[in-house]
Structure 1
Amino acid sequence: MPLTLISGLVPAATGDLADQVRAARPGTAVVHHDLREIRGGVVRRRLRLGDRDETTVLELAHGCVSCTLREDLLPQLRRLAGTPGVRHIVVRLDEAMEPEPVCWAIRHVLVGDRPVSDFVSIDGVHTVLDRGSWLADATGDDTLEERGLQASQDDERTVAQVALSQAEFADVLVLTGTADPWTDAKTAAVLDRVAPAALRTSRLAEVPPGARRGEVTDMHGPLLHGEPPLGSDCGVATLLFTAQRPFHPERLHDALDVLLDGVVRTRGRVWVASQPDMALWLESAGGGLGVGHAGPWLDAPDGPAWTDVSPERRTAASLRWHPVFGDRASEIFVVTDQATPAEIDEALSAALLTDVELAAGQREWLTYDDPFGAWHEEPCEETDETQDVNVTSGTEKQ
């Protein structure tokens, strides 16, 4: 059963796009979970199919998006996939939901004894952007709580984190509304760099060939899908920072401030000296920043087997393999606005171990104070089947 996801911060426009899909494809069922009352443990699920239009009030014990996903959306998708007359499913996501964790859950979380991907196939992710407000959202400091868009009591994400993750994961970007010429040009410059592979349009469009169609990001794979321009446009530029020596944890922690001022987006893998076997995932958007685990290095004692990782990861590891440190390395992609790539490169380079610290060896590195050692945990109890399902943030936060 083909499944289309629609995301965006503009509820009226995402609703209009869902209506366009229904009109274009008879037999389309549209599911939408309204999370505006989720802090009180209430979610409203609306289902439309033909003349049927029903809203169901759900009461969730923990009141979070992960609960909504596990307890209602995934089972609902499995049921719809087997419903006579249903030829296509549209999931219209709430403003606070990011499409990538939903796609991960469709592929990995069991409903009964099977994942939902045994019954549905993601045929595209569409994100709606408002020309007049998206750039301010993507570069601002507002939190979801300040906008009344929290997806749980403990949701600390910024609007920028959601806006950028929705755009980055899209196969099709549907631009609505109007903007002045400068905002239009600058928005295009940012999208060229954060979502270079996405088709941009002003109406419903077919997903282009080669689109990711819900393929979840490999944190050890390419940092971007597509080929972003390398030059500067409207003051927006890019930096790819790479290093084959580890960061000093405290100096890196101090240097992260440079990624919160004049930077649109940061995504990448980080090698920290005090955690030699675990890659860290670094992500910033506007005024929000998160750090999480990206899994062990191939060279780590409990690292994955070469045959269990993607060909891209094996190739990259082979090209940079070090006789002592193996595949450990840092790679960080940064999209800048008011900041310059040179000042960010300088700040990150200064946080790397010096030659003297590098020569002291791993035993000494393990004694460093590590501000990245404590991790935020989901408020909900997790089972083996649902471990790591987190639709309230793309990374764990300190």
Structure 2
Amino acid sequence: MSTPVVLIGGLHGPARTEVVDQLLREHPGALAVHHDLTAITRGRIERVVRDDRRVLDITEVRLAHSCLTCTVREDLLPWLVHHAGRAPLLVVDLWDSVEPRSVAEALDCDEARDLLRLTAVLTAMDAEHLPVDIVRGDDLAESGHQAAAGDRRYLAEVLARQLEYATALVLRGGDAEDHDLTRAILDHLAPCTPVFAETLPEVSGPPLCTRELAERVDPPTARLPCDAQTGEIMTVVWKRLRPMHPGRFFAAVDELATGSVRSRGQFWLATQPDRILAWDAVAGVVSVEDCGPWLISLPEAAWELMSPARCVTASLDWNPILGDRVQHLVFMGPDLDRQRLLDLLDSCLLTPDEAETPLEDPFVPLITLKESA
């Protein structure tokens, strides 16, 4: 019988610790492992192992390359495999800025498949701090949360991904008002993810499928929120069936990125009609990523190689002429000017008169290629 493994992520260390403590109490004999990356920029990592009563071991880990990937591959995974069958539950207490997806997918390997089963990915958060942190423009180095030397990610960017990938969210800290505000925010950031306050979800069940977890957040198959409003917090959805004018859309990027707390989705440019481009912005930081071809751009024989989720998602927006090409962007934040936002996006669409006009594409040098579309 494989040993269940649960990942506990989140930027708020005290909240994570509370959740880990509760899991250890509720599962006698369980072990928790945490890699302290405080000194990773100096090449030093500490592995801390504990149970519900005490710290059992602190080991300094020396790696050839001081990075998260090396830590998981060379230390965490072997440790988990070694302890499989020796505890009823293994709890991985992730470092502050670690995005759980990378760890979850690393555990989905031949070495661990018959010994370990990933059963839950929880993100713990402090209800008092989340509403502030999700709009912070600090980078991880400035805030002391970097997971490697040269880590250039932003605090709010990491927090958003921790929230959106999790199978369940756990609230700690704050008062009743903080909890109400945080729940309202989560209703828009991760509307399909269950939220727990006093209790915890079941973590000893069947294994999760990491491919399905990825499909929940990857742009071609992502489960994006719908139009909604909770008090002052709004989600605005924009869907259209005309290509973007690259110049006008590029000129609107700053306003679109800074006008909301979080925005994401997929779009297509008139100059790149065969490519799915992903839009991802949080706290004013925006990235544009090439996620591969639209289904309509591939030979029909290649469709059979696509995942069922990809084919189903494409069918939902299928157009006899355009196929699965669609503009689908979602914006979340307080007091959004819905009509202003929609008008701005509509103004970026290509007009019929421009269809045959050669266009320059300022996005080309900014787009990164995502290998796994």
Q: Which residue of 2 aligns with 1:76?
A: 79
Question: For residues 59 and 277 of structure 1, do their structure 2 counterparts lie closer, same or farther at Cα, with a shift above 3 Å needed?
Answer: farther
Q: Offset of 1:14 from its aligned partner?
A: 1.1
Q: Which residue of 1 aligns with 2:99?
A: 98
- Spell out the pairing of 1:15-54 with structure 2 (5 A cutoff): 15-48=17-50, 53-54=56-57
SS class of match (1:116): coil
Structure 2 distance, partners of 1:127, 1:272, is 35
Amino acid at match of 1:223: R
| Stretches of structure 2 lacking an aligned partner (at least 5 in a row) | none
Structure 1 distance, partners of 2:102, 2:73, is 12
| More deviation, 26-35/42-51 | 42-51
Question: For residues 195 and 321 of structure 1, do their structure 2 counterparts lie closer, same or farther at Cα, with a shift above 3 Å needed?
Answer: closer
Q: Offset of 1:212 from its aligned partner?
A: 7.0
Amino acid at match of 2:119: D
Q: Which residue of 1 aligns with 2:195?
A: 200
Question: For residues 229 and 274 of structure 1, do their structure 2 counterparts lie closer, same or farther at Cα, with a shift above 3 Å needed?
Answer: closer
Structure 2 distance, partners of 1:296, 1:16, is 44
| Stretches of structure 1 lacking an aligned partner (at least 5 in a row) | 378-386, 390-394
Query: Is 2:371 the partner of 1:369?
Result: no
- Spell out the pairing of 1:39-188 with structure 2 (5 A cutoff): 39-48=41-50, 53-81=56-84, 84-107=85-108, 110=109, 114=110, 116-179=112-175, 181=177, 183-188=178-183
Query: Is 2:347 the partner of 1:342?
Result: no
SS class of match (1:56): strand
Amino acid at match of 2:327: S
Structure 1 distance, partners of 2:252, 2:300, is 28
Structure 2 distance, partners of 1:115, 1:388, is 24
Q: Which residue of 1 aligns with 2:243?
A: 246
Query: Is 2:350 the partner of 1:353?
Result: yes
Q: Does the 8 A contact of 2:268 with 2:326 survive in 1? A: yes
Amino acid at match of 2:132: A
CA deviations 1:53-98 (Å, max 9, x no partner) are 11222233333222222332233333332xx422221111111111
Q: Offset of 1:191 from its aligned partner?
A: 0.7
Amino acid at match of 2:186: L
Question: For residues 304 and 57 of structure 1, do their structure 2 counterparts lie closer, same or farther at Cα, with a shift above 3 Å needed?
Answer: farther
Report the count of equivalent residues.
365
SS class of match (2:355): helix
Q: Does the 8 A contact of 1:127 with 1:167 survive in 2? A: yes
CA deviations 1:119-167 (Å, max 9, x no partner) are 3222112221111111000122122121111122332222111222222
Structure 1 distance, partners of 2:38, 2:21, is 21
Amino acid at match of 2:88: R
Q: Offset of 1:41 from its aligned partner?
A: 2.2
Query: Is 2:3 the partner of 1:11?
Result: no
Amino acid at match of 2:312: T
Q: Does the 8 A contact of 2:13 with 2:96 survive in 1? A: yes
Structure 2 distance, partners of 1:325, 1:234, is 37
Amino acid at match of 1:171: T
SS class of match (1:278): strand
Structure 2 distance, partners of 1:346, 1:267, is 18
Question: For residues 259 and 40 of structure 1, do their structure 2 counterparts lie closer, same or farther at Cα, with a shift above 3 Å needed?
Answer: farther
How large is the RMSD of aligned CA atoms in angstroms?
3.0
Query: Percent identity, aligned pairs only?
Result: 32
CA deviations 1:301-352 (Å, max 9, x no partner) are 4898322334343234335434554322221122122432322222222222
Amino acid at match of 2:193: A
Normalising by structure 2, report the TM-score.
Answer: 0.86
Q: Which residue of 2 aligns with 1:381?
A: none
